[in-house]
Amino acid sequence: MLTLTNLSAHYPEQRLCFSLSAAPGTITALLGPSGAGKSTLLAMIGGFAGIDSGSLTLSGRELLSLPPAERPLTTLFQDNNLFWHMTVYQNIAIGLDAGLRLNDDQQQQVRQVAAQLNITQLLKRKPAQLSGGQQQRVGLARCLVRNRPVLLLDEPFSALDPALRFELLQLLREQTTRLGLIVLLVTHHPEEAARVADRIAYVHDGRILEQGDRALLLAPRTPELKAYLGMCTGKGKE
């Protein structure tokens, strides 16, 4: 279980404080308006943003004292951070060894994850020779090969057209269940959350205002989430 307890940061214009639990094998969708703090929440967990107080644990182990590279997690952003001069194989392999010196076992792991994400036929290409969807598959493959229990995703598929987006989300869903990953997925698309997420956390003004299972999207309790989802909150209106 990944557990955030009053994990807090203060910025001149924003005070953020998050409490959240996420279980293995689940996807938690982080929804909320622009500027609410979704990306900062991931940065706080990843160790890229300062923390003032609170705790962050994975299976009871405190993570805040660990530098980012030693935390048991991996991140994927919309800009997938692929290296354009390297092949797809190398771009995945670098997730295992920055010097690209892979033993037989590790080489096998790269090929395995490539097969799972249907990119085996692309391993010799460079990122510029791939479509946007294929590039995101490579980015996801690099994350998965690292074999970390927590996956932080910041709108990774937003630039893709809907069909491709859902294909990749389905793939993410399968891998989350198969590997027992804890996935936090920032998205601006409630319909993405409705399709793949086990849990919904609505981030508003630096905190999680509401959380629950997918039914939350159909029956939000707070006026803020209703307004975010475009549901009418005015009295006497439909």
Ligand X SMILES: Nc1ncnc2c1ncn2[C@@H]1O[C@H](COP(=O)(O)OP(=O)(O)OP(=O)(O)O)[C@@H](O)[C@H]1O
Q: How far is the CB of 178 from ligand X (least distance, A)?
A: 29
Q: How far is the CB of 13 from ligand X (least distance, A)?
A: 4
Q: How far is the CB of 131 from ligand X (least distance, A)?
A: 24
**Residue list 25-64, contact with ligand X (CB under 6 A):** 32, 34-40
- Cα distances (angstroms) measured from residue 126 to each of 50, 86, 87, 91, 103: 36, 6, 4, 9, 22
HEC sequence for 16-31: EEEEEEECCCEEEEEE
Q: How far is the CB of 167 from ligand X (least distance, A)?
A: 23
Secondary structure (3-state) at 218: coil
- Nearer of residues 26 and 40 to ligand X, judged by Cβ: 40
Distance of CA 220 to the CA centre of its chain: 23
Question: Interface mask (CB under 6 A) for ligand X, residues 12-31, using x and -?
Answer: -xx-----------------
Q: Which stretch binds ligand X (CB under 6 A): 7-15, 80-88, 159-167, 218-226?
A: 7-15
Residues in the interface with ligand X (CB under 6 A) total 11
Given a contact cutoff of 8 angstroms between Cβ atoms, the answer to whether 11 and 50 are in contact is no
Q: What are phi and psi of 28, to 5 degrees?
A: -110, 120
Q: Is residue 11 a contact point for ligand X (CB under 6 A)?
A: yes
> How far apart, in whole angstroms, are the C-alpha atoms of residue 155 and residue 157?
6
Q: Rule CB under 6 A: which residues touch ligand X?
A: 11, 13-14, 32, 34-40
